Homo-oligomer: A and B are copies of this chain.
Amino acid sequence: MASRSTIMDNNSFRAEHAADLDPETRRLTERREELLGGSYRLFYRRPVHLVRGEGQYLWDAVGEKYLDMYNNVASIGHAHPAVAEAVHAQMQRLNTHTRYLHERILDYTDDLLSTLPAELEAGDYKAMFMCTGSEANDLALRVAKTHTGGTGFIATTEAYHGNSELSSSVSPALGTGQPIGENVWLLPAPDSYRTGIAEIGPWFAEKIRAAVTDMESRGVRFAGFIADSIFSSDGVLPGSYLGEAVDAVHAAGGVFIADEVQPGFARTGAQFWGFGAHGVVPDMITTGKPMGNGIPVAGLLARSEVLSSFSDTIPYFNTFGGNPVSMAAAQAVLDVIRREGLQQHAQEIGAEALARFQELGTAHSAVGDVRGAGLFIGFELVKDRQTREPDRDLALDMLEELRMRGVLTSVAGPHGNVLKLRPPLPFGRQDIDWAVGALDESLKALR
């Protein structure tokens, strides 16, 4: 099993930074300290106090403007009026639960299922709704266990799949304090750059097979493999390499759960779902963050026969899940993605941004690799291009430098050295200039 880092603590305000804060920011951090549990983390040594958002831009309490290069919740743009109006209209009318009939959940489900691969037929997949990606993954893992009769899961060493007990048990990105399930096998992510292996698909499939063999030799029956198809927390690994691994999962009797909380909903441009790049059809698809543009809504789409193993015996009721207001928000998001052509936009502007970031990378020896799909880009910092030794300290300093230049982002990967560039989808050409300029200046300031 690979070693584990404490990535979740990478970009965090800590008590020792308090002395450098302006009085207002210090007042707020002290109030948080007094009122909120210590598990809360703030981004940045000098935290940002946001008060307004619009599109890909954010403003803080003193009127400074920021370019959001990180948040995929407000995926169609901060404070999008279409979502605000849809929610307002529905809230004025009715907000209740799924034990009464309501048309919205049915219309939305129909629409959402239409985004699945065209070869699927009506009835092949069914939907369940909840409020967070954590809840979606918790349920998916439970369904996988019921369906297969197994308890063993495979995840990657920097995966993050949620905050419930079960979903956190497959979330090593939470750090070494977080217990990993005893029936969870962790594999290094399929990272071509870091392994130096070009044909990463067969390599990763072999890791899966070996993990299953090891698992079963220890008397643990295999239930499934859960992965975010762009491996966001593992460092952003776009590509088309999971087919053989998913075949291996199926050959071993397991299910493949595609955690689409990060890559889904048009972000990767070429496809609506992240798994589309791999040419695979997951047994279960979970989604959350970008689904309601900030209104808590999440979903599980599952093969009907997989889901029925669970639903035939166990009721599942999520009080707020699939309620008319959540569905109104979710429907508005889908409508906006289509109306504003955001998937095609993500593909075009993402390609342009990637090219510009790569061009910038060649000019700076600290940039080891720049890779992406649509508007999901990893920008990897190294001490040495030859050895590819990760430069975590530089990455953390870069976050602060970028923040000073109005660009908000964070880091990912087992070494915490990959800038995760994941802006709201309206990100435009003028923003590429802002981002490239800030990256260039920050690199120059630090190296």
Please indicate the chain B residues that have their CB under 8 angstroms from the CB of A109 in the complex: 35-36
Contact with B along A119-136 (1 / 0, CB 8 A): 000110011101111110
- Closest-CB distance, A44 to chain B (whole angstroms): 9
User: With A37-B311, A165-B142, A289-B319 in contact, do A79 and B91 touch (Cβ < 8 Å)?
Assistant: yes
Contact with B along A301-329 (1 / 0, CB 8 A): 01000011011111111111101011000
Asked if A163 meets B73 with Cβ closer than 8 Å, knowing A35-B113, A106-B31, A311-B38, the reply is no
Min CB–CB distance A23 → chain B (angstroms): 13
Give which listed residue, B52, B91, B96, B165, contacts A166 with CB less than 8 A: B165
CB <8 Å contact, B315 and A94: no
Distance of A128 Cα from B25 Cα, bound (Å): 21
A294 touches which one: B47, B95, B106 (CB < 8 A)?
Answer: B95
Does B110 contact A35, Cβ atoms closer than 8 Å?
yes
Interface residues on A, range: 35 or more
Contact B35 A94 (CB under 8 A): no
In this complex, what residue of B is CB-closest to A301? B37
**Known contacts A94-B53, A102-B49: does B132 contact A37 (CB below 8 Å)?**
no
Interface CB pairs A-B, < 8 A, 26: A8-B317, A25-B101, A35-B109, A36-B105, A37-B316, A38-B311, A38-B312, A39-B315, A39-B317, A71-B96, A79-B92, A87-B87, A87-B91, A95-B293, A131-B135, A134-B135, A134-B318, A135-B163, A138-B165, A139-B163, A164-B165, A164-B166, A168-B314, A174-B315, A177-B315, A295-B325
